[in-house]
């Protein structure tokens, strides 16, 4: 059996992202990929990407990392630069992903990047989007166990499906097979009362947000 690849970190071009925050989260063994203007963000750090992907409509410093592999995309295309990065990494065997610089800025871009989490799950992979305020991931069917600080704000929202059926333990507002609809997501701003939180996804699809106040 082939060895499992490590983690792929994709850095996108959100103008709201702090370079120091990105640098603190990237490990030396990560496969670091810049999605178009993400290369400008990485240029403000000591990090060096392995791969730079994009149509370069937003990057100001395309050639700042001459040692990196460059994949140039057409400007007129059906996928986003970030999605294309995910596809390349999936083809190379990566199944664990961290997306940075993927929120803030344009709301449509942020929503498209949340959809990348759905796409990764459809390919048997798992992704997390992190920014200064949030860690966001797609819940997997069945029992999902998390370790967090008591008092952490947690929201769970149906995403990719009209409804989700959820149960919680370890949170201030418990839930037992609660049916949550996309048009009325009452599962906002819960709070961890334990370091160990369990969220069971019985059916549907949902995102979980761990919010740093």
Domain 7-132 fold is: Rossmann fold (3.40.50)
**Domain boundaries defined on the chain:** 7-132, 142-211
Between 98 and 2, where is the model more confident? 98
pLDDT digits (tens, 9 = 90+) for 8-37: 999 998 888 899 999 999 999 999 999 988
Burial zone of 169 (CB within 10 Å; 0-12 exposed, 13-18 middle, 19+ buried): middle
Burial label for 78, CB within 10 Å (0-12, 13-18, 19+), is exposed
Query: CB neighbours (10 Å) of residue 48?
Result: 11
Summarised one tens digit per residue, pLDDT across range 122-148 is: 999 999 999 999 999 999 999 999 999
Specify the CATH class of 142-211 in words: mainly beta
- Rounded to the nearest 10°, the torsion over CA 116, 122, 124, 128 is 30
């Amino acid at each position: 059996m082939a060895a499992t690849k490590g983690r792929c970190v994709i850095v996108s071009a959100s103008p709201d992202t702090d370079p120091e925050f990105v640098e603190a989260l990237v490990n030396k063994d990560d496969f670091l990929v810049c999605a178009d203007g993400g290369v400008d963000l990485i240029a403000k750090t000591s990090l060096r990407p392995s791969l730079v992907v994009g149509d370069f409509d937003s990057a100001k410093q395309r050639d700042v990392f001459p040692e990196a592999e460059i994949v140039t995309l057409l400007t007129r295309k059906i996928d986003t630069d970030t999605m294309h990065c995910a596809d390349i990494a999936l083809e190379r065997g990566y199944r664990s992903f961290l997306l940075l610089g993927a929120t803030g800025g344009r709301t449509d871009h942020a929503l498209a990047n949340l959809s990348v989490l759905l796409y990764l799950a459809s390919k048997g992979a798992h992704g997390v989007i992190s920014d200064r305020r949030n860690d966001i991931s797609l819940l997997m069917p069945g029992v999902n166990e998390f370790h967090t600080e008591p008092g952490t704000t947690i929201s769970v929202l149906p995403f990719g499906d009209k409804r989700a059926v959820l149960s919680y333990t370890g949170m201030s507002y418990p839930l037992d097979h609660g049916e949550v609809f996309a048009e009325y997501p009452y599962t906002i701003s819960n709070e961890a009362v334990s370091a160990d939180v369990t969220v069971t996804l019985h059916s549907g699809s949902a995102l979980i947000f761990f919010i740093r106040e």
